[in-house]
Structure 1
Amino acid sequence: MRIYAIFLLNLCLVAPVWGGTISGSIHGTLSVSNSPYVVTGDLLINAGDTLRIEPHCQLFFEEATTFKVQGVLLAQGTATDSIYFSSNKSPQNPGDWQGIYFDKPANKSYLSYVVISYASTGITFDSTDSEIKHSCIKFNTNGIDCSAGAQPLIESNQIIHNGNSGIRVTSSSPRIIANKIFYNALEGFDSAIVFNWSSGGLLLQNQIAQNGNSGVDCDNDSNPDIINNTIIDNSGYGISLSYSSPRIINNLVSNNQYGICNEEGSPSISYNDVWQNSQGDFWGCPDSVGVKVTVNSRGDSADVFYNIQVAPALVNEDGLDFTPTSSSHLIDAGDPANPGEIQVSGDAPDIGAIEYSGTVPVELATFQFDGSKLVWSTATEKNNLGFEVQRSVTGVSEDFQTIGFVKGQGTKISPTFYSFIDSKVRSGKYYYRLKQIDFNGEFRYSWTVEALYHQAGNYRLYKNYPNPFNSSTIITFELAQEDIVSYIIYDLNGREVRRLMIQKNFSPGTHQIGWNGRNNKGEQLPSGTYFGQLRTRHFVKTNKLLLVK
């Protein structure tokens, strides 16, 4: 039998740390075995106290509650078992609860692999140097606030879908390093990242994309170092400066409404690629910025500060993969002094957040949903173990679950075609991505594709894939009920060339068969157009197959 003690200290209740409802002052350990916890009133870690939260714990906060930290919070999940802080309302909405507030604690707290959602502000760092790493801050009104001289480390997080802002910095100097900051400020007046009122710090190797308003705002004498970031596809300015003079070095600022805009400041702007911002690349910047008078180490036209204005050549900008391709003008085009002290693979740092490290092991050429299955192809492969197929109902990165694995081709210099049927979904919308894995365990994710499955109860014959094809193709069909199926291939003159199936019994659902371009005798057929007819007791349908040898 477990025995729990409840203590009264200074008329404050120390909350019990077993499952159920909790509130008030709290310390000790929140155990996963007793999770989830419902927070019915404000939580407080008093100065001098420590609270540890075990991986995979879930805390759900009632409306308007706050989690205040004046002592030490150790919320350290793992890559496979995050710790969750969210709203207890249904449905959940941004601003349901107040978030985690570090209230001038004397000692540092550590958060890693946590997910914080549906708060007014996910985390507020007030006069603290605490750390948050490898976490997801999503669907809050504001993601992270830093105030009153705070110097937190914010590293390797996903800061996404926060309505008003991703990160706001007021009179503070955070270190903001290697985060993915996407889809913020789409419903408010702030920007993805805002530095205000004499703020400083470091903004290094972040990917800042598809946010509302600006990617980075620096206002009222705020002078952070903005180094090696990718700032792309934001609806306002890439970088906006007002009465501020930061260092802006080695950044890619591309496809925003404006590039770098300066008002009444004296920024240092060098070694950036500022490219194709729709209303202009430079506005109000110091004299000579953007005026091409020389060339850089790669031979690209540059201004006297070695800023260039060239297409960056990224792997897949639409899919948020901002890795430079082997032909990218970003490679080795940064400041050779390496002011961000990043790990460099060439003669100088690359421009942007991601350092090119050599040939991309697997070049993914296509990835899509064709109405019944996922299909993708690679142009080349190097040391490719294969692909994990991952599915999500929200499209948010941490919600993806692995549902299958497709073996790769190792090393191959010619195109390869793949397909995968998800047989365990109902009708509705789903999101998929691929996790390509090398033999050495390194991996990278594809872009996300959306799939809409229709109600069951249909007979369908889908387009074969690939088509045209060279060595083999896949034919996919769907049955509304158990049925007897035949599939016969004919040439343009209507002559039968191949019986793939005759009177074979199939269960309801989606099925696949393959054809290698050979006839009933096993002989290779010539290039041309062929027709495949699917026939059941209730359905007849023909599709066109294009064989190219």
Structure 2
Amino acid sequence: MKRTLKILLVLGVVVCLGSIDGEMPGLSSKAIADTCMVGGPISTNTTWSTADCDTYVVYGNILVEPGVTLTIMPGVVVAFQETYRLEVRGALTARGTASDSIVFTSWPSPQNPEWWNYIWYRNSSIDTACSLSYCRIEYATYGVHCDSASPTISHCRIRKCYTGIYCYDASPEITQSNIVDNQGSPDGSGIYIRGGSPATFGNVIERNTYRGISVDPSGHPTSVLITADTIRENHKHGINLYYGGISAIIRSCDIYLNPERGGIWARLSSNTNVRITNCHIHNNTSTWTGGGAIYVEGGFVVIDSNCINDNWTTVSGNTAGGIYFEDVDSARVQYNDICGNSGPTKYAYEVYSGEPSSPDIHGEYNWWGTSDSVAISQLVYDYYDNVDLRKFVFAPFADSSYPYWWRGDANGDGDINSADIVCLINYLFKFGPDPVPWEAGDVNCDGDINSADVVYLINYLFKGGPSPGCCP
């Protein structure tokens, strides 16, 4: 069967016309029905579509020049020969559909991770014109490299790369994507963040051989918002926060079955602030020190309104299957369910309270699976067990398990955005449905829902105002 190999002109670079007999390795018959060879700089607005070629084979580095847009249409396969990359200094828009995705892969395919280089968004790229949606990206060093750039990445599947998404002083929005089976070590991850203000929402981050999400500022101020992600079965950490100037909010996530250093592992500097809220952290394992659910060293940490259950440590001796603190600057652990976390001996506690170089840890209003204060005291390892540790103040404590909701999330969808403002306006002025639950609409925690809550939410979302109050 003979198939025509087309010519593509890119700034005077001409690929010779030829023909190919039989099947080409690694791609389906449809994918090779028409094949274009591409490489070199793109200096005018260009569209790749299946009307011209089903498969675009990259035989040299591609540069989308400043001010120029490359648009890739649904159904296109972009297949990279070894080591090459797609560098974007202008704009790259690749928007597939749920039924007709865009594929970035190796040539031939399949290959091992790191076969080709990456999709590289540079500092000069036009953020508002850079987006990847319904794309499959595979076999690269970094699936997407955001270098002081902030594209939108949504509904993508990024797999079998060294690192799925690498963010360097970048602030991309990463939403509703599957980031899976990325295989880099020692520093490969599903998402790797160094500097900037990335935001993730609604992703599934799983089976990455090193870390699910890794935040490692190394001198680059970093602020991350991790919301409603499912983070599971990553080999080393679910989420890793490592030193430097980190400000992190981890909220409404489901974090489980991360088998080596647990759900969240945070080794923090003194200028670091972390809040973990409304998450379900369960069935993780720590094989290092303790803290199957959460390990925290240093920094200022708030852990509130989470369900932390059935986590495990393999470490013997006085440790914790649930939360392990090591010399934190300040910590508050409140309004959580903390139950069923354990280890190989009776000395694996729910919480281990670290060195006494800072004030007591506030651990009030948690549910421990019991309302017996003596029984609760036996679930915590602190000053009263070893005077070299600090006190963990657990009283007063809850007498039943908490329902989980997020103040400000008026429509109950797991996120706080403009839709919640609309929900409150409809409730207050148009006889719309109640917030879910009602208390979620009391954004300013004054016991009532009125126009002040709408103003509070607008200030929070659009004017840098304070965050909604904690629940309950």
Q: State the alpha-carbon separation in 2 of the partners of residues 81 and 269 from structure 1.
A: 42
Pick aligned residue for 1:283 from 324, 340, 358: 324
Shift in CA distance, 306/203, structure 1 to aligned 2, threshold 3 Å: farther
Q: State how far apart, in whole Å, the 1-side matches of 2:183 and 2:153 are.
A: 20
User: Quick check: 1:202 aligned with 2:218?
Assistant: no
* Aligned ranges 1:368-447 → 2 under 5 Å: none
| Aligned residues of 1:253 and 1:275 also touching (Cα < 8 A) | yes
Letter in 2 for 1:249: T
Q: Distance in 2 between matches of 1:289 and 1:266?
A: 9
Alignment partner of 1:249 out of 277, 291, 306: 277
Q: Distance in 1 between matches of 2:322 and 2:250?
A: 17
User: 1:145 — aligned with what?
Assistant: 166
TM-score (norm 1): 0.53
Counterpart pick for 2:303 among 249, 266, 269: 269
Q: How many angstroms apart in 2 are the aligned matches of 1:347 and 1:161?
A: 40
Give the structure 1 partner of residue 258 of structure 2.
234
**What RMSD over aligned residues (CA atoms) do the two structures have, in Å?**
3.3
**Identity, % of aligned pairs?**
28
On the 8 A contact 1:52/1:75 being kept in 2, the answer is: yes
Query: Are the counterparts in 2 of residues 139 and 162 from structure 1 also a CA contact under 8 Å?
Result: yes
Q: 71, 74, 82: which is aligned to 2:90?
A: 71
SS at match of 2:237: coil
- Residues of 2 paired with 1:214 and 1:78: CA distance? 32
User: Within the alignment, does 1:60 sit opposite 2:75 as a pair?
Assistant: no
Change (3 A) 1:21 1:106: closer
Q: Per the alignment, do residues 36 and 90 of structure 1 end up closer, same or farther by CA in structure 2, a change over 3 Å counting?
A: closer
Residue 158 of structure 1 is matched in structure 2 by 178
Larger radius of gyration: 1
Partner of 1:433: none
Query: Which one has a larger percent helix, Structure 1 or Structure 2?
Result: 2
| AA of the residue aligned to 1:170 | R
**In the superposition, relative to structure 1, how do residues 123 and 238 fare at CA in structure 2: closer, same or farther (>3 Å)?**
same
What is aligned with 1:28? 46
Q: Is the 8 A contact 2:367 2:402 kept in 1?
A: no
C-alpha distance 306-240 of structure 1, shift in aligned 2 (>3 A): farther
Quote the offset at 1:331 in angstroms.
7.6
With over 3 angstroms needed to count, the CA separation of the structure-2 counterparts of 1:4 and 1:330, relative to structure 1, is farther
Aligned partner of residue 284 in structure 1, secondary structure = strand
Counterpart CA distance in 1 for 2:157 and 2:336 is 44
Query: Cα distance, 1:293 vs. partner?
Result: 11
Q: CA deviation at 1:29?
A: 0.5
Moved over 3 A (4+): 3-8, 12-16, 285-295, 302-310, 329-332, 334-340, 342-345
Distance 1:51 1:183, change over 3 A: same
User: In the aligned structure 2, how far is the partner of 1:334 from the partner of 1:63?
Assistant: 48
CA distance in 2, matches of 1:116, 1:79: 15
Are the equivalent residues in 1 in contact too, given 2:306–2:337 (CA < 8 A)?
no
Q: Which residue of 1 aligns with 2:416?
A: 341
Contact kept, 8 Å, 1:294 with 1:304, in 2: the verdict is no
Query: For residue 341 of structure 1, what is the amino acid of its counterpart?
Result: I
Kept in 1: contact 2:90–2:124 (CA 8 A): yes
Aligned AA for 1:333? Y
Measured after TM superposition, the shift of residue 333 of structure 1 is: 2.2
Matched, 1:130 2:151: yes
Q: Could you state the TM-score of these two structures normalised by the residue count of structure 2? A: 0.61
1:288-346 residue CA offsets vs partner (Å, 9 max, x unmatched): 85689999xxxxxx985655566xxxxxxxxxxxxxxxxxx988424435595276733
Aligned match of 2:108: 89
**Matched AA of 1:210:** E
5+ long unaligned stretches in structure 2 = 1-5, 17-33, 286-291, 314-320, 339-350, 352-361, 370-399, 421-434, 441-472
The AA in structure 2 aligned to 1:345 is V
1:43 aligns with 2:62: yes
Residue type matched to 1:154 in 2? I
Cα deviation code 1:469-518 (max 9, x no counterpart): xxxxxxxxxxxxxxxxxxxxxxxxxxxxxxxxxxxxxxxxxxxxxxxxxx
Residue 204 of structure 2 is aligned to residue 180 of structure 1: yes
Count residues with an aligned counterpart.
Answer: 316
Corresponding residue of 1:192:
212
AA aligned to 2:39 is: S
Supply the distance in 2 between the matched residues of 1:206 and 1:83 (Cα, whole angstroms): 23
Higher percent of residues as strand? 1
> What stretches of structure 1 of length at least 5 have no aligned partner?
296-301, 311-328, 350-549
State the Cα distance separating 1:77 from its structure 2 match. 0.5
- Shift of the 136–307 alpha-carbon distance from structure 1 to 2, 3 Å rule, reads farther
Give the letter aligned to residue 40 of structure 2: G
Q: Indicate if the aligned counterparts of 2:336 and 2:365 stay in contact, CA closer than 8 A.
A: no
Per-residue displacement from partner, 1:170-202 (whole Å, max 9, x unpaired)? 012101111011111x2xxx4110111132121
Whole-Å Cα distance in 1 between the matches of residues 123 and 183 of structure 2? 26
**What is the alpha-carbon distance in structure 2 between the residues aligned to residue 65 and residue 86 of structure 1?**
11
Distance 2:161 2:240 in 1: 20
